[in-house]
Amino acid sequence: MKKNKVIIVDDQRTVRGMIKRWIESDPNWEVVGEASNPFEARDQIIEKQPDVMTLDVHMPEMDGIEFLKKLLPQHPMPVIMFSSSTTEGTAITLEALDAGAFDYVTKPSGTPESLIEAKEDLLSKLHAALNYNVSLYQNTKSTTPSKIVSAKRHTSFKTKVIVIGSSTGGTTALRKLLDDVDESFPPILVAQHMPENFTALFAGRLNTELKVKVIEAKDKQLLENGTVYIAPGNFHLEIQKLNGELYTKITQFEKVNGHRPSVDVLFDSVVNCGIANQTISIILTGMGSDGAKGLLNLKNNGSITLGQNKETCVVYGMPKVAFEIGAVMYQLPLESIADKTREIGSK
């Protein structure tokens, strides 16, 4: 059986050894190279042609982010960042994703629980990386959208709310999608799979880049046009109706489909509020199936549903499952979704 090949890049021998043991505990994978710095890694990548690379951030001579930016144009491949610097809520994690990293795993703290969690996280993301659309690496570079709102883009919306679900690759996809959104849009609620403390940073960055206001959602906020509400990490985001008005609802019950926030929880709350027929629902790139059943529930209750197509997804997982069960009414490239939303919402 042909095994999938990994190269490990980390300046600490003990960390490289730990990652190697984890990876090779799965019979589908083999470590074909180890490097303590990007220059060693470059030579091994050319020789070994790995399928996936794990990459540390802080290394001698050249940091991992700079190496990532130099590497991908020449050798596009899924790269999983593995570093204490890519902990929850730090700017360097977003920088790595912007530079083209597929995903990240945080180095464990040393407790048995953290070791198990990190190992499972890494193996899960390695498998997902095999479906990574490497042709999109150039689309993960940072952009600086304009805050200037063009009057001709404004639309008179009849839709009450827009809900979006996303996971792996979603940070970049959301930025690109929301760059085509202006203040005339109805409230937009987003469930993006992210850890705690990470979402506030992500929302803050989007808020400085986009035409619309972007915030990390808090409990019982009145939904307002031209505002994007990002589900806080480790919490579920829902919509609730109070005295005839729509508000956010933040809860922390058990994970759904292995996630908190869960896309299905957000989507189902729209149906529970009785506003599915006044909602546009969108599912973007991501591994797994979270959001697929919720999108079907929305469609069956009158929502217009959109899914990102395979060609523009970093991982065609969530949208694929949704499409296969008949939940997606319009399957579109990422760059067409905002315009389609504008067209549908004004009817």
Give the tens place of pLDDT for each residue, 64-77. 888 888 888 888 89
What is the chain's percent helix, strand, coil content, to nearest 5? 40, 20, 40
Number of helices followed by number of strands (H, E) in the chain: 11, 14
The count of other CB atoms within 10 Å of the CB of residue 24 is: 14
- Model confidence at 86, in pLDDT bands (50, 70, 90)? low
Model confidence at 87, in pLDDT bands (50, 70, 90)? Answer: low
**For residue 338, how many C-alpha atoms fall within 13 Å in the half-sphere facing its CB?**
18
Q: How confident is the model at residue 139 (pLDDT cuts 50, 70, 90)?
A: very low
Which range among 4-13, 97-106, 213-222 shows the weakest confidence by mean pLDDT?
A: 97-106
Please report the pLDDT score of residue 143 as a whole number: 46
Q: Where are the beta strands (DSSP E) in 124-223?
A: 161-166, 188-192, 213-216
| Alpha helices in 142-212, H assignment, sequence order | 170-178, 198-209
pTM score of the predicted model: 0.89
Q: Are 187 and 230 in contact (CB under 8 A)?
A: no
Kind of pairing between the strands at 4-9 and 52-55:
parallel
Question: Which pLDDT value is given to residue 107?
Answer: 81
Q: Which residues are catalytic?
A: 167, 193, 290
pLDDT, residue 137, reads 64
57 vs 86: CA distance, rounded Å: 8
Q: How confident is the model at residue 153 (pLDDT cuts 50, 70, 90)?
A: low
Q: Is it true that the peptide bond before 261 is cis, omega within 30 degrees of 0?
A: yes
The DSSP 8-state label assigned to residue 172 in this structure reads H
Per-residue pLDDT, 149: 45
Tens digits of residue pLDDT in 239-284: 999 999 999 999 999 999 999 999 999 999 999 999 999 999 999 9
What is the three-class DSSP state of 28? coil
What are all long-range contacts of 39-48, with beta carbons under 8 Å and residues at least 24 apart?
Answer: 40/9, 41/7, 41/9, 41/67, 42/71, 44/7, 45/7, 45/71, 45/75, 45/77, 46/75, 48/5, 48/7
Mean pLDDT computed over 140-152:
45
Q: What is the pLDDT of residues 28-71, one digit of tens each?
A: 999 999 999 888 999 999 999 999 999 988 777 787 888 888 88
Instruction: Point out the least confidently predicted range of 6-10, 110-114, 175-179.
Output: 110-114
User: From CA 145, how far away is CA 23, in angstroms rounded?
Assistant: 39
Comparing CA positions, the residue from 115, 110, 153 lying closest to residue 21 is 115
